[in-house]
Amino acid sequence: MRVIDLRSDTVTLPSPEMREAMYRAELGDDVYGEDPTINRLEALAATKLGKEAALFVVSGTMGNLVSILTHCQRGDEVIMGNQAHTFVYEAGGVSALGGVHVHTIPNQPDGMLDLVDLENAVRGENVHFPTTRLICLENTHNRCGGAVLTVEQMAAVRQVADTHGLAVHLDGARLFNAAVALGVDVSAIAAQVDSVQFCLSKGLAAPVGSLIAGSASFIKEARHIRKMVGGGMRQAGVLAAAGIVALETMVERLAHDHANARRLVEGLADIAGYRVNPDAVQSNIVMIELEGLGADYDAVGAALEAEGVKISRMSARRFRAVTHYGIDSSDIDLALAVFSRAVRVA
């Protein structure tokens, strides 16, 4: 049975070219700054994003943690959306490990923060208050269904930050999906923020790793914090080699993932029993609900799984499907036939 795994774009396997590059990678001890492949990846990422420097980290979670700990001292406050990956899915790390106070405001359905909410969330000077230091954005926005923030939306947040002397960090786990969806260069997005984290291990299909990019002084301090949290790696060039291939060969193909997500959502819209919003699908994520309050999500999920279609459950009454390297348009057609049968058990 063909298994069509739409749980996440993290399930992607490295391409043959990546495995070859990993095998051949020139290596050294990166904690001494002597791994030439790591140095090459970091320089490449910095150039692509239009930042002075970049730093390889283990994961997106570590990238956000290290970035926020670099911007903030204990007791400082970071403002982010209540659907932010950093708030929901990163084990509360910035609070637990950094003593950083998280101030959430509602994410709008398009992944944006309301600018009035944002202004109201910034603390004035008062002995009672924590010190607001940082605003975090997410683009594309995972829990908002892969919604893409435009450069203009990000610039509006930048302006609020500048008015109040705050820094802006972007959780750009799917930064390249955003750039492809908008038809802009990643540097145009990165230019709106002080620091950005992006994942190599999602749609770009590398096995491991993320990069943080920012100013040279920011990255110097982030390198220190990365060591503190145990993220200093030695011959990590074996991983960076795959990352270089990812950046050089996997970006343009993200458009296929977006087209497949569109094919999926339009197909689902035609099957009675599913509730989807084709207008909301801007990148590689499709949020799926079932019609009717009594619909049995467990039963539909199990029926899909029994026929080899895997999706993830985002909450009690919501599924998520993600397209990626390894899923082609014929898989989407196969999956739609399974979706059509599975909903009859709801």
Which residues here bind ligand PLP, judged by CB under 6 A? 59-61, 85, 138, 142, 171, 173, 199, 201, 210
Residue 134 C-beta: closest distance to ligand PLP, Å: 16
Side-chain-facing half-sphere of 143: CA atoms under 13 Å:
18
Q: What is the DSSP code string of 278-337? A: GGG--SSEEEEEESSTT--HHHHHHHHHHTTEE-EEEETTEEEEE--TT--HHHHHHHHH
CA distance 98 to 59: 17
Supply the minimum distance, in Å, between the C-beta of residue 62 and ligand PLP.
Answer: 7
Shortest distance in whole angstroms from residue 210 CB to ligand PLP: 6
Sign of CA dihedral 25, 26, 29, 32: negative
The least CB distance from residue 64 to ligand PLP, in Å, is: 6
Taking the least distance from each CB to ligand PLP, the nearer of 68 and 264 is 68
Nearer to ligand PLP, 37 or 83 (CB): 83
Packing angle, helices 329-342 and 254-269, rounded to 10: 30
Nearest distance from C-beta of residue 143 to ligand PLP, angstroms: 8
Q: Which of 67/210 has CB closer to ligand PLP?
A: 210
> Cβ closer to ligand PLP: 76 or 138?
138
One-letter amino acid identity for 157?
Answer: V
Q: Which residue is nearest to ligand PLP (CB)?
A: 60
Smallest distance from ligand PLP to CB 133, Å: 20
79, 301, 323: which is closest to 202 by C-alpha? 323
- Which is nearer to ligand PLP, 173 or 300 (by Cβ)? 173
Listed in sequence order, the residues at least 6 apart from 336 whose beta carbon sits closer than 8 Å to its beta carbon are 264, 267, 268, 271
172 vs 237, which CB is nearer to ligand PLP?
Answer: 172
Distance, C-alpha 19 to centroid of its chain: 24
Q: Per the structure block, which two tokens stand in for 50?
A: 């239009």
